[in-house]
Structure 1
Amino acid sequence: MKLYGGASYTARLAPAAGAGRKGLRSGALGLFSSVVIGLASTAPAYSLAATLGLIVAGVGLQAPIITMLAFIPMLLIAYAYRELNAANADCGTTFTWATRAFGPRTGWMGGWGIIVADILVMANLAEIAGTYGFRLLGYDALAGNRLWTTVVGVGWIIVMTTICYVGIELSAAVQRWLLCVEVAVLVLFAVTALVRVYTSPGPTSIHVSASWFDPFQVASARAVTQGVLAAVFIYWGWDTAVSVNEETADSAHIPGRAAVISTVSLLVTYGLVATSAQAFAGVGPTGIGLGNAANSGDVLSVLGNAVFGGHGTGLLLSRLLVLMVLTSAVSSTQTTILPMARTVFSMAAHKAVPSRFARVHRRFLTPTWSTVGMGLASIGFLVLLTAFSHDVLADSIQSVGLAIAFYYGLTGFACVWFYRGVLTRSARDLLFKGLLPGLGGLMMLFLFCYAAFGVYANPKYGATSVSVPLVGRVGGVTVVGLGALLLGVVLMLVVTRGHAAALRLQRSLLPQRLPPQTAVELASRYVPADSGSGVGGDWFDVIPLSGTRVGLVVGDVLGHGVRAAATMGRVRTGVRVLARLDLAPDEVLARLDDLVEQGSGDQLDARHADAEVRGVTCLYAVYDPVNGRCSLARAGHTLPAVVLPDSGGVASYPELPPGPPLGIGGPPYQSTELQLPPGSLIALFTDGLVQAAHGTDAGLTELARTLAQHRRPLEELCDSAVAALLPGPVDDDAALLLVRTRMLGEHQTAVWELPADPELVGHARTVVAAQLAEWHLDELAFTTELIVSELVTNAIRHADGPIHVRLIRDRTLICEVSDTGHTSPHLRHAATDEEGGRGLFIIAQMAHLWGTRYTPTGKTIWAEQELPPGQAADRRQLP
């Protein structure tokens, strides 16, 4: 694609929406790099510098244990991330997983929570980076100037966005160097502080005590909760290690391990630094004491000079500590862009936001529009709020906790619901997929509610307050935090309405129920895709045919959205119409191919190319319960699975002649015939059922394993198949139709062969009347004799060779006359002066239904009559 000036466009759309199939650079990160990115995203040095004083102010000497207690909900949610990532390593993380568990609207809100949290914190990190940059250079006056700190903050966002744009390897390399130096300086600070406490203590120094690690020493439960609330968010950011899962080696396992390792590493780091800082500085409200409100926003800068000294090497180390706070904020800026951009990228790949955000750089293999777009959004938010009100900016930064608690808690609940079907499989599954994530979700829900309505809602909390109708004055932190989430609800309703409309249309066009059939026992399932990228197009159907036969069809429109659902409705209607003409399966597909090809001329214009239908796959089968034969033909569709009653439960996938998808063009379709004894099990399904596991081959193997229990009720088999192959909703629709064959009993059919002799018409009436008397259907004898007489007479007059008469007693009485002719009779109104031409007209008035079907040896004309009440045949003809 060429742009103005002849430049080439260097981005392409993500090739697919599935996990690991979006075109990002796979295998770029190992375990160490993933852990580094997870740790760097939390900004350890800056988080401690900005939060430790606030924690001490709330809980006093118990600050170290409160810092450690905040680790518990984070570890529980980390386990949820690990388990969900193992099932689906998608860079959309909470968006993708919540969508699979609860549906597209809840999933969209999960993605929105990530976006809100990241944009809000980006403004804070950029401002801190600007402020500390001036402090490091000794320009304290500029450090307090909002204009210049904003300019420098914008510059840092641009630099870090560029690094993220260029490649994940460069991002990881930068983080490895920055984090290693940062952790080394923090450990050096902690060790030096502890050594000085026990060798040359200062006036405020106190020895470490066991009481510091006893949460029951805190004055009140409210103080504990507020302390944990302040401490819990210093752990936030480790989930970046999972957000880059599609660019990580062994993406199903390494990102989850990195998340757990990151949180444990943070526990050790925070516990060590908090304990050593408190031992050295104490918790007093003056001087370097951690309780001094004047230092609460940056305790490390104040402690640096006191711990290391103000001369020589000490001065260098104290400056280095300030530098680490700066680089911590800067590196966190970069690692905040990574998950934000990849969340938007995944949402675009799944059609939850405009698809242009799913573009991938051809050389760097990084998201282009989503990376640049999120960088610009962060700059815009920082500049807007800085210009509007610094107080509102401060409150918006504090409100980030609400968004974090929201999407972390949602992830915990999504894990429980996603794995609900396997929680009783083992003690490990119950613990790591159920109890721990569920407990983490409950903790996050409590923290969200407590913060939003118990702490942040206080008008005296934060820098601003807002008068809310019917409520009164409310703290600005709550207003901004909840307002941002409510804005997401409005956007969600707008963005997801296309998916909702497609799903409603899809469901309305599918069979609402499967009518009972004499020929087969039936059960079905339809599992819609969980996002706009997959919904629409899969269908199944069961079509009653003449002679107690039944048509079985399953198909998949290769597209998505409302257009795919509408195409499915047209194709399904076409199949039903063509099937009722009693055409062979290959002829049905051939005519259906013309129908789809003609419809392709109505495609949308190029601006909506992503919504176009790209063909239709279909499998059509006709089963005859009289002789047990099943004729099948396929158009680019997956092979059916067949389990014979005497196979010991072994499922096979019989080879059928391949045919191109409908509407594509290619060689003609061919039919194949299978002989199926009664009790045979046939599974017709779309590829969405078997591709969702670990590839199509693994899915087919798992389906065969499920069908091995072929004697179970079909409804139970359907549930087992869906539970095994689709533990949660997937990126593509899935349809499953299970069929168990039956055979008509010998007492339900009667067949006679007659030579083409007009004198035998009376004999045909006689034998038919006798059979009806044996079936206790004497009241249908007159009309049946008339029908047989007319059909046999027409066969003798217009065809050569023997004539076959067959009666079938089922839900209706079916009379069939077969001959070797290939001409089809037509119903017409005979003129008053014509002697003939009234036979079919009379039959049409007496029969409930009638028609013609062609066979390889000729044709069959059939007529159905309704049975008298209470005379329907026993339909439970299973062996």
Structure 2
Amino acid sequence: MKLSRSRVASDSRLALDSGAGRKGLKSGALGLWSSVAIGLASTAPAYSLAATLGLIVAAVGPQAPIITMLAFVPMLLIAYAYKELNASNADCGTTFTWATRAFGPRTGWMGGWGIIVADIIVMANLAEIAGIYSFRLLGYDSLTQSRVWTTIAGVVWITVMTAICYVGIKISAAVQCWLLFIEVAVLVLFAITALVKVYTSSPETAIHVSASWFNPFHVPSAEALTSGILAAVFIYWGWDTAVTVNEETADSTRIPGRAAVISVVLLLVLYALVATSAQAFAGIGSAGIGLGNKAHEGDVLSGLGDAVFGSQGLGSALSKLLVLMVLTSAAASTQTTILPMARTVFSMAAHKTIPSRFARVHRKYLTPTWSTVSLGLASVGFFVLLTAFSRNVLADSIGSVGLAIAFYYGLTGFACVWYFRKVLTRSRRDFLFKGLLPGLGGLLMLFLFCYAAFGVYADPDYGETSIYLPFIGQTGGVTVVGLGALLLGVVLMLVVTREHTAALRLQRTLLPHRLPQRTAVEMASRYVPADSRSGVGGDWFDVIPLSGTRVGLVVGEVIGHGLLAAATMGRLRTGVRVLARLDLAPDELLSRLGDLVGQTAKEQAAAQGAGGVRPGDDEALGVTCLYAVYDPVSGQCSMARAGHALAAVVLPDSGVATHPELPPGPPLGLGGLPYETAEFQLPRGSLVALFTDGLVQTAVDDLDVGLGLLTEILAQSRRPLEELCDRAVATLVPGPANDDAVLLLVRTRMLDDQRVAVWELTAEPAMVGNARTMATGQLGAWGLDELSFTTELIVSELVTNAIRYAAGPIHVRLIRDETLICEVADTGHTSPHLRHAAADDESGRGLYIVAQIAQQWGTRYTPTGKTIWVEQALPTAPAVEAP
């Protein structure tokens, strides 16, 4: 290639972002008709008919016209899948990004690989026919039989078209529009002239059009029908380029999909007309200009030019124009094949599934640089290699590319169904265009792929080349090349997705597997990992049970991606849970967590011999976090945040989502202003939403717009939480997630007064007996007499300690929840410590005994003092013996 790597690197920069429409490509460069032109030109109608019509006739005989029409059906079905998926996520990665979003990174990677394989294989075919027709146009017919010269000419064409793609999408579109106009005009003129001559001058080979040509049941066998349709699929393939350039198209969510459908329909009309007229004029004979002539199987139009137009005067010029048309068709398709291939690789690099250098964009032309040039080089390499080993490059490459086409088109159909599975019952239109039609298209492609690969192409007698495989034997070269290229992708996929898989597995292992329902709140959550290989980050959420039936709610977002970010998330989540169990206030918990992060960063910097802390020494530096505590007894909620973490609250009587005014705090580990806690009351049935930035910034760049969409969803707060979570994810994360997204929804509850008993006592020794009596009476009212003895002991010990070591009033509270909770609050700030009493100690045994009979106990501090709490397990109901 003429473009050096150093030049490519100096003129390019990395993609701005991996999101749809945000990679830095030239947006708004194409309109509807230029997109249609690119879609049609990518199929190369003249070249496709020249290279394929003979193969179709050889497979099915005179039913070739109906086969070209039947191949339209799966194409149209898949085109609707492209249209619906593009409307949801207009990413130039197309099948790669959509299959990733639907089935995961491994399947998505194979979808992208299928596009690359199909495009690289067909480049060999395009280059071969462009080289042949170049010499034929110039009158050097002898050179068309030379592999060396046709290979050189093909390499030149690939280089030229790669350079055109490199310098800009507008130039590419302009070239395509003019070439396509000439191509279609000559094809239509050829078809009309051929039909007129059939019914006027009646050439020797001519046969009148028959209704049997359009009856697929006249095809001799199912094998012949399948081979014919798979070959005919090739002539339609390429229209998806109109969708691949979606990020460079005006109204990227609508125009590319429309262009794809329009392209397929126009191709149906054109192919039906040309196939019918060519067969009527030339017949299906195996000699002369007959379409069944093996000598012209890979190029049926070159022999028909002189016969249809004549060899004198204007006819000679038109014959030359037909040759030029096939040449320009192949050249145009070479260019439009590089476009989708380069943009697929570009998107895969932007999503970090392949090295990031392939995500470079030219600073001036706004086109992919590394991906365009490298794929041009790969196409040259494969073309030269296939030429060296195959006796018939045209025939074998068409069959091989058919397998790759069926693979990634079928995968797109299935991805559409699975992607929209939750909305298929929303309306008839959704069921038809998002489910039924794409699903049928996927099934048809799957059948064609399996039947052709294992039932037709694997036969060593099929095609021009066969290869001996260990343990299998002699196998058709078409199957070996087609399946071998896809299997190579499986090996590469396992390597390049290894980090993503490991990071995702680690992330999911460290996150809560399920959220057990608590008395305080009803809960639902969603975690959507980033789709790229190293894109899995460290976003997390948690619901932590606290003393007194309270719960701690937390969401956090780790800066960075990959295994390190996931491991950092696990470290921080553990730290939050440990600190939360100390019953710290939200602001104090974040302060302690920030100190922990800062200390760890300093230790890492010291271990690396650094003079200070650098922003990458610890992935936890700069983490945003929001921590909230909700008390179902009082209905009070307290929150504090580190960084830009946000929350939304919907009160039951208003139904309007608002964002609490939380005092700003610095991200963890960076220092700065101290954290502050905001407190507010939440009535029963209030909805609280905690989320990370990835949820509200994936679908749109504007944070305010994302928050507005979330607010509209939360306004339907009376719906089940699981349904609200699904709606939020479907609306706010409609396509491949470039950043992890977390959503935690909780609906508040309140404990009934019948489950809580509170007494205020004076700090007098006589109050100990009163406390025991009141506690025993309350247990009797609750039917918990079995716990009377242990509860009396606990109350007696805790009240006695409060009278002895603190001043002021004493509050005793019993809570009947999943456990029996006994709390004694006083005005002291000294916490008791559990220890083993010596043989001669007169005190110190009471708390030890309490700890032995309790399920758990602890201390929490309040602005006015402290609270000692003790939990006991409720007695289990006796088993009922069977009669």
Q: How far 1:437 moved relative to its partner? A: 1.2
State the alpha-carbon separation in 2 of the partners of residues 783 and 461 from structure 1.
Answer: 87
1:586–1:671: 8 Å Cα contact kept in structure 2?
yes
Amino acid at match of 1:212: W
Structure 1 pair 627/610, CA: closer, same or farther in 2 (3 Å)? closer
Amino acid at match of 1:17: S
Structure 1 pair 457/565, CA: closer, same or farther in 2 (3 Å)? same
Look up the match of 2:290.
Answer: 289
2:597–2:621: 8 Å Cα contact kept in structure 1?
no
Look up the match of 2:427.
Answer: 426
Q: How far 1:565 moved relative to its partner? A: 1.4
Q: Give CA deviations for 1:181-209 in whole Å, capped at 9, x if unaligned.
A: 22222223223333434444433334444
Q: How far 1:350 moved relative to its partner? A: 1.5
Look up the match of 1:547.
Answer: 548
Look up the match of 1:856.
Answer: 863
1:563–1:611: 8 Å Cα contact kept in structure 2?
no
State the alpha-carbon separation in 1 of the partners of residues 496 and 14 from structure 2.
Answer: 20
State the alpha-carbon separation in 2 of the partners of residues 487 and 589 from structure 1.
Answer: 49
After superposing the two structures, state which structure 1 stretch, 4-13 or 279-288, moved more.
Answer: 4-13
Q: How far 1:818 moved relative to its partner? A: 2.3
After superposing the two structures, state which structure 1 stretch, 275-284 or 316-325, moved more.
Answer: 275-284
Look up the match of 1:94.
Answer: 95
Structure 1 pair 384/226, CA: closer, same or farther in 2 (3 Å)? closer
Equivalent positions of 1:160-179 (< 5 A) are 160-179=161-180
Matched, 1:813 2:814: no
Equivalent positions of 1:35-184 (< 5 A) are 35-184=36-185
State the alpha-carbon separation in 2 of the partners of residues 418 and 657 from structure 1.
Answer: 40
Matched, 1:382 2:389: no
After superposing the two structures, state which structure 1 stretch, 290-299 or 492-501, moved more.
Answer: 290-299
Q: How far 1:585 moved relative to its partner? A: 1.0
Q: How far 1:7 moved relative to its partner? A: 11
Look up the match of 1:559.
Answer: 560
Cα RMSD, aligned residues only: 3.1
Question: TM-score, normalising length from structure 2?
Answer: 0.91
Amino acid at match of 2:84: E
2:52–2:297: 8 Å Cα contact kept in structure 1?
yes
Look up the match of 2:436.
Answer: 435
Look up the match of 2:749.
Answer: 742
Q: Give CA deviations for 1:498-530 in whole Å, capped at 9, x if unaligned.
A: 121112111111112323422223333334344
1:559–1:614: 8 Å Cα contact kept in structure 2?
no
Amino acid at match of 2:664: P
Look up the match of 1:10.
Answer: 11
Q: Give CA deviations for 1:590-622 in whole Å, capped at 9, x if unaligned.
A: 22223334455659999x989967742222111
Q: How far 1:239 moved relative to its partner? A: 0.7
Look up the match of 2:626.
Answer: 619
Matched, 1:496 2:497: yes
State the alpha-carbon separation in 2 of the partners of residues 212 and 392 from structure 1.
Answer: 30
Q: Secondary structure at the match of 1:815?
A: strand
Q: Secondary structure at the match of 1:97?
A: helix
Q: Give CA deviations for 1:73-118 in whole Å, capped at 9, x if unaligned.
A: 1111111111111111111111111111122211111111111111
Unaligned runs of 5+ in 1: 872-879
State the alpha-carbon separation in 1 of the partners of residues 8 and 149 from structure 2.
Answer: 36
Matched, 1:334 2:359: no
After superposing the two structures, state which structure 1 stretch, 14-23 or 818-827, moved more.
Answer: 818-827
Q: How far 1:385 moved relative to its partner? A: 3.0
Equivalent positions of 1:168-567 (< 5 A) are 168-390=169-391, 395-567=396-568
After superposing the two structures, state which structure 1 stretch, 194-203 or 809-818, moved more.
Answer: 194-203
State the alpha-carbon separation in 2 of the partners of residues 609 and 571 from structure 1.
Answer: 16
State the alpha-carbon separation in 2 of the partners of residues 307 and 393 from structure 1.
Answer: 25
Structure 1 pair 217/384, CA: closer, same or farther in 2 (3 Å)? closer
Structure 2 counterpart of 1:672, from 670, 675, 678: 678
1:18–1:90: 8 Å Cα contact kept in structure 2?
yes
Amino acid at match of 2:111: G
After superposing the two structures, state which structure 1 stretch, 378-387 or 89-98, moved more.
Answer: 378-387
Structure 1 pair 394/54, CA: closer, same or farther in 2 (3 Å)? closer
Q: How far 1:312 moved relative to its partner? A: 3.1
Q: Secondary structure at the match of 1:24?
A: coil
Q: Secondary structure at the match of 1:683?
A: strand
Amino acid at match of 1:13: L
Amino acid at match of 1:333: T
2:223–2:456: 8 Å Cα contact kept in structure 1?
no
Equivalent positions of 1:591-740 (< 5 A) are 591-600=592-601, 615-647=622-654, 649-693=655-699, 700-701=707-708, 703-719=710-726, 721-722=728-729, 725=732, 730-740=737-747
Seq. identity, % = 77
Amino acid at match of 1:844: A
1:459–1:465: 8 Å Cα contact kept in structure 2?
yes
Unaligned runs of 5+ in 2: 879-883
Q: How far 1:757 moved relative to its partner? A: 4.1
Amino acid at match of 1:807: L
Q: Secondary structure at the match of 2:513?
A: coil
1:527–1:735: 8 Å Cα contact kept in structure 2?
yes
Amino acid at match of 1:448: F
Matched, 1:804 2:805: no
Structure 1 pair 772/293, CA: closer, same or farther in 2 (3 Å)? closer
Q: Secondary structure at the match of 1:498?
A: helix
Q: Secondary structure at the match of 2:646?
A: coil
Structure 1 pair 729/389, CA: closer, same or farther in 2 (3 Å)? closer
Structure 2 counterpart of 1:865, from 866, 872, 876: 872
State the alpha-carbon separation in 2 of the partners of residues 791 and 441 from structure 1.
Answer: 70
After superposing the two structures, state which structure 1 stretch, 85-94 or 44-53, moved more.
Answer: 44-53
Look up the match of 2:578.
Answer: 577
After superposing the two structures, state which structure 1 stretch, 409-418 or 138-147, moved more.
Answer: 138-147
After superposing the two structures, state which structure 1 stretch, 594-603 or 240-249, moved more.
Answer: 594-603
State the alpha-carbon separation in 1 of the partners of residues 765 and 47 from structure 2.
Answer: 104
1:418–1:727: 8 Å Cα contact kept in structure 2?
no
Amino acid at match of 2:315: G
State the alpha-carbon separation in 1 of the partners of residues 46 and 719 from structure 2.
Answer: 61
State the alpha-carbon separation in 1 of the partners of residues 589 and 664 from structure 2.
Answer: 15
2:699–2:735: 8 Å Cα contact kept in structure 1?
no
State the alpha-carbon separation in 1 of the partners of residues 632 and 458 from structure 2.
Answer: 71
State the alpha-carbon separation in 2 of the partners of residues 609 and 854 from structure 1.
Answer: 36
Q: Give CA deviations for 1:669-712 in whole Å, capped at 9, x if unaligned.
A: 22211211222232333344444555655654554455455445
Q: Secondary structure at the match of 1:299?
A: coil
State the alpha-carbon separation in 2 of the partners of residues 834 and 735 from structure 1.
Answer: 54
Look up the match of 1:754.
Answer: 761
After superposing the two structures, state which structure 1 stretch, 636-645 or 715-724, moved more.
Answer: 715-724
1:642–1:652: 8 Å Cα contact kept in structure 2?
yes
State the alpha-carbon separation in 2 of the partners of residues 848 and 485 from structure 1.
Answer: 59
2:96–2:112: 8 Å Cα contact kept in structure 1?
yes
2:351–2:531: 8 Å Cα contact kept in structure 1?
no
After superposing the two structures, state which structure 1 stretch, 859-868 or 152-161, moved more.
Answer: 859-868
Look up the match of 2:881.
Answer: none
Q: Give CA deviations for 1:37-70 in whole Å, capped at 9, x if unaligned.
A: 1111111111111122222333343322222222
After superposing the two structures, state which structure 1 stretch, 713-722 or 613-622, moved more.
Answer: 713-722
Question: TM-score, normalising length from structure 1?
Answer: 0.92
2:234–2:398: 8 Å Cα contact kept in structure 1?
no
